[in-house]
Amino acid sequence: MSRVELVLVRHGVTAWNKDRRFQGHIDIPLDAEGERQARRAARRLAAEAGGPLPIGAVYASDLSRARQTAAPIAEALGLALQDAPGLRERHYGAFEGRTGEELQREHAEAFNRWRAREPDFPLPGGGESLRAFHRRVEDALLALARRHPGQRVVAVTHGGVLDCAYRVATGLDLAAERRHDLLNASLNRIGWDGERFSLLGWADVAHLEHSEDDVEARAWR
C-alpha cells in the first residue's frame, strides 16, 4: 500500500481554552484569535500543497470549532470540507463546562482518577473512558489512511484526539503522563505505511505568534 501522511490540526483557540474549561462535546465557537489562527494555518498549508504527496482531502470533526478552523484551509486548498465525526473530542460528561479548580471541589474523586489516567474509568455523567476514546480515535485514523493511499490528508480535530494520535504513532501507553504539547492550530504529522503509524512531526506552530496548550497542561498532577 502507498504511504499516507495525516496532517492533524488542532482547532483554533476558543474563549473556553483561555479559561481552561473542559469543552468536550459542548459546541463552543472560535474566538477572534482562533479565527486568525485558522487563516494562518490555511496559508501555511496552501504554501505546502506541492510535494511528493499531494494533499487529497480536508476533514474536520463535526464540532463547530473544528469546522470553523477547517473551512479556510479547505478553501485555500480548493477542496471540499468533509466530516470526520470519529475525530470529535472526548465526551467528558460531568466535566464539561467546568475548570479543573471547580472539578476539584465538585467531583474530587473522579477528577483525581482522570488525572491518574485510569484507562477504563468512564467519566461521570455519561463520559467516555480513556480506552474507549482511544479506540474510537485509532479507528478513525485508520479509516482516513486507508481511504487516501499515496496522499496527504488534513484533519482538523481536538486536543484529546491529538493525544490519542500521538500515542497511536509512538506506542506511548495510555496511562503514561503526557509530556507532548497539544497546541491550538498546530500541525501534527503522522505517517501510515500500510501496517503501522509513525510520528513524522509534532506541535508545529511556526505559522503562529502564540498558541494555547490543552487543558491537561495545568499543573494539577
User: Which percentage of the chain shows pLDDT scores above 70?
Assistant: 96
* Grid cell of 23 as nine digits: 469543552
pLDDT 10s digits, 41-96: 999 999 998 878 999 999 999 999 999 999 999 999 999 999 999 999 999 999 99
Contact (Cβ atoms closer than 8 angstroms) between residue 9 and residue 37? no
pLDDT 10s digits, 53-65: 999 999 999 999 9
C-alpha dihedral (145, 55, 43, 190), degrees to nearest 10: 30
For the domain covering 4-91+129-217, report its CATH number: 3.40.50.1240
Q: State yes or no: is 5 an active-site residue.
A: no
pLDDT 10s digits, 17-45: 999 999 999 999 999 999 999 999 999 99
User: Which percentage of the chain shows pLDDT scores above 90?
Assistant: 91
- Predicted TM-score (pTM) of this structure: 0.95
The order of strands in the sheet holding 187-192 is: 81-83, 55-60, 152-157, 4-10, 187-192, 197-204
pLDDT, mean over the chain? 95
Residues composing the chain = 221
Q: Which member of 11, 134, 158, 207 is catalytic? A: 11
Longest CA span, the chain: 52
User: Half-sphere exposure (CA, 13 Å, Cβ side) for 96?
Assistant: 17
Beta strand ranges found along the chain (DSSP E): 4-10, 55-60, 81-83, 152-157, 187-192, 197-204
pLDDT 10s digits, 99-112: 999 999 999 999 99
Whether the per-residue pLDDT at 217 is higher than 80: the answer is no
- Report the alpha-carbon distance of residue 112 to residue 103 in Å, rounded: 9
Q: State yes or no: is 75 an active-site residue.
A: no
Q: Which member of 33, 35, 75, 89 is catalytic? A: 89
